């Protein structure tokens, strides 16, 4: 069974923000807002907080420790080999590898985390709410189940604030 949504399509930023603020005061939150460019008030106003930066930090921390550990294991413990007159534990030469490999690990792991959380994967069918949401229109998406009791007043507010469709 597919869910039902109410869409508010707007022509420009100002009317969208107006409607957004008004609805926020009434306690109605859109589940998603599509805009052609980042709109500040929406970014701050949406009750979505990302934790991906923390995830990225810990990926970086563990990747760096893991890579350093691996290099130490390989060069010092498992197969000590003297080259260039350097000690087995040639720590400064490990750092460059660690930096580069840490960046790669953070990038890939964060990408996978994001994809998993946002449920996107290659070949997924795109969810398009409105034909021109990827074009020049501002689209607010409301979940009808969440606001079943006052969907009429929602529609009224949207219209009043310059909804065009």
List residues binding other proteins (CB under 8 A): 40, 53, 57, 84-85, 92-93, 95-96
CA angle 93, 98, 104 (to 5 degrees): 145
CA angle 63, 65, 68 (to 5 degrees): 105
- Closer CB to other proteins, 57 or 129, in the complex: 57
- Closer CB to other proteins, 9 or 67, in the complex: 67
CB of 56 to other proteins, least distance (A): 11
CB of 73 to other proteins, least distance (A): 21
Q: Which residues pair with 9 in a beta bridge?
A: 139
CB of 92 to other proteins, least distance (A): 5
Tokens standing for residue 95: 């750092």
- Closer CB to other proteins, 94 or 114, in the complex: 94
Contacts 24+ apart (CB under 8 A), 125-134: 129/5, 129/7, 129/32, 129/34, 130/7, 130/9, 130/34, 132/9, 133/34, 134/34
Q: What's the CA gap between 80 and 61, in Å, rounded?
A: 26
CB of 99 to other proteins, least distance (A): 9
- Closer CB to other proteins, 47 or 92, in the complex: 92
């Amino acid at each position: 069974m597919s869910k039902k949504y109410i869409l508010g399509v707007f022509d420009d930023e100002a009317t969208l923000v107006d409607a957004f603020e008004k609805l926020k005061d009434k306690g109605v939150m859109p589940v998603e807002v599509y805009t052609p460019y980042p709109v500040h008030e929406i970014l701050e106003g949406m009750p979505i907080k990302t934790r991906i930066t923390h995830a990225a930090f810990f990926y970086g921390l563990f990747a760096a420790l893991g890579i350093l550990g691996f290099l130490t294991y390989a060069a010092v413990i498992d197969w000590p080999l003297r080259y260039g007159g350097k000690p087995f534990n040639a720590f400064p030469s490990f750092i460059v590898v660690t930096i580069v490999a840490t960046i790669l690990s953070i990038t890939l792991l964060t990408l996978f985390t994001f994809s998993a959380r946002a449920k996107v994967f290659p070949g997924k069918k795109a969810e398009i709410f409105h034909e021109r949401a990827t074009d020049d229109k501002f689209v607010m998406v409301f979940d009808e189940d969440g606001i079943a009791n006052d969907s009429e007043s929602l529609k009224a507010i949207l219209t009043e604030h310059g909804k065009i469709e």
